[in-house]
Amino acid sequence: MAGRGRIDFHTHFVPDIYRETLAAAGIASVGRVPFPQWSLDGLFEGMEQLGIARSLLSISAPGVDFGDPVLAIDLARRTNDLLVQLKADHPGVIGGLATLPLPDVPAAMAELARLEGSGLEGVILLTSSQGRYWSDPVFAPLLEMLDAKGALVLLHPGVPAGAEALGLTLPPPILEFVFDTTRCVAEMIFTGIFDRYPNIRWVLSHLGGTLPFVAWRLSMMEHSPRPAYAEFNARGRSVQSYLKRLYYDTAVSAGPASLDAALSLVGPERLVFGSDIPFLPFAFAQKTLAALEDYEWLTPEARDAIDFGTGGKLLEVGAL
């Protein structure tokens, strides 16, 4: 198992090759949130401030899909190679979650195959790609490949299709991100994705969005006679049984009410630490960490599980 230092499953990096490619495509923000500055020195400073011993770096939304499939393949390859190098340069301190050039499923599978033996700990997948969620059959071959590997997958929200057209005051990452995670996972439950691909180890960003709050509401479908839920009900499993199989990171979600809901649903053994830096400024990350540390209902054993115990066990299983 990993040492007793905090393991961060939700750390992003915005290297120059990524920022410059986005800038050339006219993209300077995600959901009206500007891309933050990123440097290795800044990462290490933040890790020290937050008591993080190991960070799993990943590219955040919008990933590498800007409407140019060739560019997406090249950018995924370059950022993944940089992750591999950073991991090699800082063993045991930096890890990486690979980016795949979706929605091109064959290209994503080719990149996943290319990374075999790279040592990267897993992959990051956005909740949807060009309006398609993981319940869409087009993604089945990739899910089969991830399942065969028993891959670790961080499920990260993106800006859902049509969100900007609503003209809402708040930028989409504030609320639409957590709604999109909820929508994605609910679809996977009711369409049998978790049954067909049981070996993928899913970590849900931001305590699973609003899933802890709406889990009881979703459970009402277990008793519905409507045809839409017939396939789900034929499997004879509860919504909560699926949610208990998943893992949840604490990024931007350490408030008492959020933790109450998540812990009552799945318990501390399914929670891992996440900071969301540098998209979340260090000062804000320190506030969320303080809220987690001040949460009075966690035993020392439960705190250790969230900080490093559960994450350490996940990382023991193996890399790509």
Strand stretches in 44-102, DSSP E: 52-58, 94-99
Distance CA 171, CA 179 (A): 13
pLDDT tens sequence across 152-172 = 999 999 998 888 888 889 999
Question: Which amino acid is located at 153 in the chain?
Answer: V
pLDDT of residue 78: 98
Assigned token pair, 37: 């500055």
Distance CA 87, CA 118 (A): 10
pLDDT of residue 4: 73
* CB contact set of 221 (below 8 Å; sequence gap of 6+): 190, 229, 232, 233, 239
Domain boundaries, the chain: 6-316
pLDDT tens sequence across 230-289 = 999 999 999 999 999 999 999 999 999 999 999 999 999 999 999 999 999 999 999 989
pLDDT of residue 286: 94
Backbone phi, then psi, for 29, in 5-degree steps?
Answer: -155, 165
**Four-way CATH pick for 6-316: 3.20.20.140, 3.40.30.10, 3.30.465.10, 3.30.930.10:** 3.20.20.140
For the residues 130-138, what does the mean pLDDT come to?
95
Helix or strand or coil: residue 255? Answer: coil
Please determine, for residue 2, whether its predicted confidence score (pLDDT) is greater than 60. no
Q: For a pLDDT cut of 90, what percent of the chain falls above it?
A: 88
CB 213 within 8 A of CB 179: no
The structure's pTM equals 0.96
pLDDT of residue 255: 93
For the residues 209-233, what does the mean pLDDT come to?
93
Distance CA 212, CA 160 (A): 20
Q: For a pLDDT cut of 70, what percent of the chain falls above it?
A: 99
pLDDT tens sequence across 54-92 = 999 999 999 999 889 999 999 999 999 999 999 999 999
Question: Which amino acid is located at 183 in the chain?
Answer: R
Please determine, for residue 41, whether its predicted confidence score (pLDDT) is greater than 50. yes
Helix or strand or coil: residue 123? Answer: strand
Please determine, for residue 1, whether its predicted confidence score (pLDDT) is greater than 70. no
Q: What is the DSSP letter of 90?
A: S
